[in-house]
Structure 1
């Protein structure tokens, strides 16, 4: 007598029939629905959480790379000794031949462009309000190359008139109550040199452009000023503080550190975006792993309900198992029948969870907008989280590992009750029938 091949059509038919429990076996049906719904909700939560975490990281990195240099080259501070008093002074390192160095850095393979920058701290004031700000002295061409700064959807003003005034962040504009065409006063602590020492410098500038970089801290503290004006305002005539460098692959920016140092010369140092935000990104990666483990436990708990339902099913179908065994059904066939019962539940629940998870991830911004409307803006606070929105990024890798985890757990927890059914003695099963 030929042995039927594993997972034959009749095994699928028997398993599907057992899952459609009759009214007298309502307990099995209830446990099946509980298992299915639990797995679906667990997979939905896992996919939605991973998508939100990926979206948060992508948005955070994009705001960094869209408004900042990928890496910065600067000179180390210099120690100057006074030969008469033996005093030692530490002065900031600066580039005097910055145009030549910037041109050499731009020739390094993989470097897309460079920008000479002057930086300084000021107090900005207007309309009896004031705010601490960081000024970036930069050329208009370099400013226009920053995608987050010149995005027309989030900025307004005339960038063509940048050389006639300054560009300020939307946060500064809001706090000072100014807009395009208004004037604000900038007060630098180290200003004009006089016979009595250095006095604060106060200049008034017209706001020609207002931008939003997508980051609360940038919009609230950053001002862009024409490079030549910044050199004059901060007493940096003929020098710059640093040279910003942009590369083809910001995720691998560390690979350019040594080539840039070799070109910049002695005393040069580099500081890239990963150095500035690496600890935060590492914390995000660690949180991703922790969240995956925690939500995996929820999927496991939901999968355990399959075991309970199958144990009840095996108990209710003892007579059927005995009859099938006496008709010639092998232990392997019985095991596969009940394995398929649990597998059907896991597969259907997983597919439902994927659908719900993708649907939730695609609408997470609308959901957050609704929550913000209900809570008066308290659901998402940019000053706490840094970015203005919570996007979701669906990645095939995240969906596949959520599906793989759910199916693996569903299949594993099915083995014990299926083996119990397969090892049932048909004589014992039919003794009291």
Structure 2
């Protein structure tokens, strides 16, 4: 919609009402701020929701792969042959043996439930950039060194160099019953994955050491699989599932974390709908301010009509006036949202200091920091939605102004 110099001059005049129309200017300002806050809230919430899902997916899948092949009974006897079959499956990019077993750990009188994790040397190496203290190179086959999660270290009060005791209930049999197996391990490294449940439970060691601790011989519990397309992992591993029928079961990341990711998807849609209503309510302020402006400018509109202004010109003037308010609010909200996302962690810490409340408890939120991942397509949809709502809100007042009859208005002037 291209405006002539005359139309643009009138539109700018109406966007900045005079001294006698300060109330109209106030309502227009409130409209702009309302649109800005609606767009700001949408950008922040949707980016945080996207970041939460993406970070959670990256951390869970980065540690456990896209699928787990788990043996019936917890022990995979011929795992070397199965591993070869898995690696030969089209679409599989990585497969590695894995042992996971829930046990107990104690240190200085404190006891915590743990998840002993036996990994290959290459899988242990993947934790290197997560290490907060210590050295992963000390985790050797046959040694007594382990790496533990940061939250577990905090719960036990253990540091690098301390010796913790891992308790395996399946110990040796005696005339008085089974005596739990207790083995001392030195903490060689402390790591932080960023997922509270993992950081508070994982004790990592080489696979042979885990086999010795659990008395499982040369067997493993599962095989971790990564594919080239996580969204179609079930289709990629379908042939393998048929081959392993009766020996093992395949659970992909969708099945293992189904409830969590489905809840996130539902919450994301609900939050978008609810916050969109805020933008919708905000544009009603634009509607009301334009209606007030049309009523206040009825005499001016009639004079413009008698001077030759067409209905189309007046329609364009008032649509432009209202649309500019919505556009300025949208741009301001987008800028404010991006700035808030950039400084999100300091903002969270500042609010925590002011309120004295922990706003981001890792034990509840899974992640240790507030995540964010702005989606350009989603942000574009939010901006377009706000602009469309603003445009629609201008139509009624604009048509009302364009339909003004100058004869009726100026009859008694």
User: Normalized against structure 2, the TM-score is what?
Assistant: 0.94
Give the RMSD, CA atoms, in angstroms.
Answer: 1.9
Q: Give the secondary-structure state (helix, strand or coil) at the position aligned to 2:188.
A: strand
Q: Give the secondary-structure state (helix, strand or coil) at the position aligned to 1:393.
A: coil
User: Which of 304, 312, 325 is the matching residue for 1:332?
Assistant: 312
Determine the C-alpha separation between the residues in 2 that align with 1:237 and 1:193: 17
Compute the displacement of 1:402 (Å). Answer: 1.3
Correspondence 1:144-293 to 2 at 5 A: 144-145=125-126, 149-152=127-130, 154-163=131-140, 164=143, 165-193=145-173, 198-264=178-244, 266-293=246-273
User: Which of 113, 117, 135 is the matching residue for 1:132?
Assistant: 113
Correspondence 1:254-403 to 2 at 5 A: 254-264=234-244, 266-376=246-356, 378-403=358-383
Q: State whether residues 321 and 429 of structure 1, in contact with CA within 8 Å, keep that contact through their aligned partners in structure 2.
A: no
User: Which of 32, 35, 50 is the matching residue for 1:54?
Assistant: 50
Determine the C-alpha separation between the residues in 2 that align with 1:227 and 1:93: 15
The reply on whether 1:120 has 2:101 as its aligned counterpart is: yes
The 3 A distance-change label for structure 1 pair 67 and 268 is same
Determine the C-alpha separation between the residues in 2 that align with 1:158 and 1:300: 55
User: Which of 22, 27, 39 is the matching residue for 1:26?
Assistant: 22
The 3 A distance-change label for structure 1 pair 415 and 373 is same
User: Which of 402, 405, 412 is the matching residue for 1:422?
Assistant: 402
Q: State whether residues 102 and 114 of structure 2, in contact with CA within 8 Å, keep that contact through their aligned partners in structure 1.
A: yes
Determine the C-alpha separation between the residues in 1 that align with 2:25 and 2:101: 70
Compute the displacement of 1:265 (Å). Answer: 5.4
In the alignment of these two chains, the number of paired residues is: 410
Matched with 2:89 is 108
Determine the C-alpha separation between the residues in 1 that align with 2:176 and 2:216: 20
Determine the C-alpha separation between the residues in 2 that align with 1:41 and 1:177: 45
Compute the displacement of 1:330 (Å). Answer: 2.2
Q: State whether residues 66 and 213 of structure 1, in contact with CA within 8 Å, keep that contact through their aligned partners in structure 2.
A: no
Which ranges in structure 2 are unaligned for 5 or more consecutive residues? none
Deviates more, 1:233-242 or 1:402-411: 233-242
Q: Give the secondary-structure state (helix, strand or coil) at the position aligned to 2:94.
A: strand
Q: State whether residues 191 and 233 of structure 1, in contact with CA within 8 Å, keep that contact through their aligned partners in structure 2.
A: no
Superposed CA offset, 1:323-346 (max 9, x none): 222233222222121111111111
Determine the C-alpha separation between the residues in 1 that align with 2:74 and 2:332: 61
